[in-house]
């Protein structure tokens, strides 16, 4: 299995699908990386040469992926918390950040319902 950006990409899939196994690379960026590196996106990974893998590796290095991306996102969230803006407050309290209703939904953020005493 070729290793790109610290991730083993599957050999039995096409290049455009295998690249999406890397965090930070979706379908659109996978096609973009394949085209800029000169590799056919519809070619299977096990058919690639070492030179093709090196070209893909160089093309991926231009983007923020995997650990660097995660650190950037965490730093952005921490910055919101530090400046104490509305979104930062929502992150701190564990509530939805993007304006969703919370009266009847948001169970993922709020956790399981708590039982109320005396209620049947």
**pLDDT of 120 strictly over 80:** no
Domains of the chain and CATH, by start: 3-60 (1.10.8.50), 66-105 (4.10.910.10)
CA angle 33, 36, 40 (to 5 degrees): 75
Query: Given CA atoms 60, 61, 63, 64 in this order, what sign does their dihedral have?
Result: positive
Q: What is the pLDDT of residues 77-118, one digit of tens each?
A: 999 999 999 999 999 998 999 988 888 888 888 888 887 777
């Amino acid at each position: 299995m070729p290793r790109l950006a610290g991730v083993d990409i599957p050999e039995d899939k096409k290049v455009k699908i295998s690249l999406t196994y890397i965090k930070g690379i979706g379908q659109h960026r996978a096609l973009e990386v394949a085209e800029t590196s000169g590799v056919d996106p519809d070619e299977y990974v096990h058919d690639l040469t070492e030179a093709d893998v090196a070209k893909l590796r160089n093309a991926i290095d231009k983007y923020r992926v995997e650990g660097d991306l995660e650190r950037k996102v965490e730093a952005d969230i921490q910055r919101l918390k530090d400046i104490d803006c509305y979104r930062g407050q929502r992150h701190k309290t564990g509530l939805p950040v993007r304006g969703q209703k919370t009266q009847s939904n948001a169970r993922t953020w709020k956790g399981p319902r708590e039982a109320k005493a005396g209620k049947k």
